Structure 1
Amino acid sequence: MQITVHKHYKEKEVLVPQLIEGFSDSGDLIMQGTRNIIKSNILGEEKVVIKFFQKPGLFKSVIYSFFRSTKAKRSFEYANYLLEYNIPTPFPIAYVEEKSGLGLLQDSYYICENIDYDFTFRELIHNPLFPERNIILEQFTDFTFKMHQARVNFLDHSPGNTLIVKRGAGEYDFYLIDLNRMKFETLSIEARMDNFKKMWLSKTMVKVIAKKYADLSGENEEKLQQLLLKKTIAFKAKTTRKKYLKRKLRIMK
């Protein structure tokens, strides 16, 4: 077991192994996917979140062991990068990699701060009458603009990966989660609009975001609106097509 702990949590490093060893039997389940499991638990006296990445297949195990950082390590390093540029994300506490005698990756874990959030971006999509919806959209656009200015291309910029905390009337904080898929590069205006496409925006939401992004960037509002709408419609069509084909394949089986 290889443990890397943030310097601010060095005094709690000795507590990490028991948290990992008891992962299956303790803690509160947040999400269980086909390969990943997320739980909350207590580290010392602090509530934390632990994301478990199940052992990859042989080929990916070799890749992650010798050629590419593991998802747990990337999550930790990317979180540190975001915080360096004042882009909120749950504070990265540690990551753990379990390897075989041959040095091949087995299971891995990422531990971060627990955020008591009020809702995610998903609620804004499903409820057009959500309180202060346009204000939240404008502040979310500002948040994303700052991310783009910091050369962050968040490849999983989707509705469930932004936690939203209400600080007061008309004031919101945003936190990025599920960080292991990012690129760090200068983004063209087209790439910036493309980065919004997975948010599943309505035409009304597109107008609000395009106007705010135009104000922040100095780009033409109509140009951004057309570009963002084009990207959004294409993504929705592609996703719908994939779902349709999957259903057809299931029926054929």
Structure 2
Amino acid sequence: MSVTVKIHDNSALTKDQLMSAIKNFDQQGEMIGNGYRNVIKILTIGGERYNIKEFKVPNLVNKIVYKFFRKSKAERSFLYATRLLKAGVLTPSPEAFVEYKSAFTFGSSYYISKQLTYDFTIRKLIDEPECDDYDNILRQFTQFTYRLHENGIHFLDHSPGNTLIKKEDGVYKFYLVDLNRMDFKTLSYDERLANFARLSPKDYMLDIISDEYAKLIGKPHDEVRERMYFFSQKFSSSFKKKEAFKRKYYFWRKKKR
């Protein structure tokens, strides 16, 4: 099986260091999450902390698709991170990606970035509605999302855990992660408002988000809020149906690690 290794020009990693980390990936590192789909670990290499994401090996059809027709999730993550940084959008520093391929199919792949120390994610605002500076954080996050839209960045996995937040000198900085699903285009009005739906926000969150976004986009608040409610409810209903289907037909699946 052949191996493709791409290391960012600004990275301090060497190919030998990277391949050693991948070779021993199962036996070392600090695991993040449950590893049900993809496995994410924090590893120290050369005195620096790195985040390594091992993507789940695709099914038979996608093994062929990723081999011949489409960039892998690891490569897309690397390319999109580089593109975001050039656009002034924060994301943990992209360091490298690694892919394993046979003559006719695609195997495993890894995306490597610098481990970022952050304070919390948007999930905190869902779980702790009484947290300090709640309104300000949510409005700054809405402004951040508006800037994404204005720059033609459609982050398709705009969900609670995929924006890391650091507070520096009273200002909140937002870092996007889990980048393999993005579009770069001019977003329609509905696409902009629907982009908040995956956050699964409470109604009181949507009230604040819609108020801030309406000001930014120059639309009536009631109109923006109504559309955001519609898209949020539509996503929630679809999500519940998918989860029920998985529980019924994929009950046999076990966690990878």
Counterpart CA distance in 2 for 1:250 and 1:54 is: 16
| 103 and 42 in structure 1: CA distance in 2 versus 1, 3 angstrom threshold | farther
Which residue of 2 is the match for residue 198 of structure 1?
A: 198
Could you list the runs of 5+ residues in structure 1 that have no partner in the other structure? none
Deviation string for 1:132-160 (max 9, x for gaps)? 11111011001111111121111111111
Which residue of 1 is the match for residue 65 of structure 2?
A: 63
Which residue of 1 is the match for residue 226 of structure 2?
A: 226
What CA RMSD, in Å, does the superposition of the two structures yield over aligned residues? 1.9
Counterpart CA distance in 2 for 1:113 and 1:250 is: 34
What TM-score results when the alignment is normalised by the length of structure 1?
0.92
Counterpart CA distance in 1 for 2:114 and 2:250 is: 40
Query: Which one is further off, 226-235 or 135-144?
Result: 226-235
Which residue of 2 is the match for residue 157 of structure 1?
A: 158
Q: Which amino acid in 1 is paired with 2:63?
A: S
How far residue 249 of structure 1 moved from its aligned partner, in angstroms, is 6.5
Q: Which amino acid in 2 is paired with 1:59?
A: V
Which residue of 1 is the match for residue 127 of structure 2?
A: 126
Which residue of 1 is the match for residue 255 of structure 2?
A: none
Matched-pair contact (CA < 8 Å) for 2:165–2:172: yes
How far residue 41 of structure 1 moved from its aligned partner, in angstroms, is 0.6
Matched-pair contact (CA < 8 Å) for 1:12–1:44: no
How far residue 222 of structure 1 moved from its aligned partner, in angstroms, is 2.0
Matched-pair contact (CA < 8 Å) for 2:7–2:13: no
Matched-pair contact (CA < 8 Å) for 1:54–1:106: no
How far residue 131 of structure 1 moved from its aligned partner, in angstroms, is 1.0
Could you list the runs of 5+ residues in structure 2 that have no partner in the other structure? 252-257
Q: Which amino acid in 1 is paired with 2:113?
A: C
| 229 and 54 in structure 1: CA distance in 2 versus 1, 3 angstrom threshold | closer
What TM-score results when the alignment is normalised by the length of structure 2?
0.90
Counterpart CA distance in 2 for 1:103 and 1:201 is: 43
Which residue of 2 is the match for residue 106 of structure 1?
A: 107
| 103 and 162 in structure 1: CA distance in 2 versus 1, 3 angstrom threshold | same
Which residue of 2 is the match for residue 183 of structure 1?
A: 183
How far residue 15 of structure 1 moved from its aligned partner, in angstroms, is 1.7
If asked which structure has higher relative contact order (CA below 8 Å, sep 6+), I would say 2
Counterpart CA distance in 2 for 1:79 and 1:225 is: 31
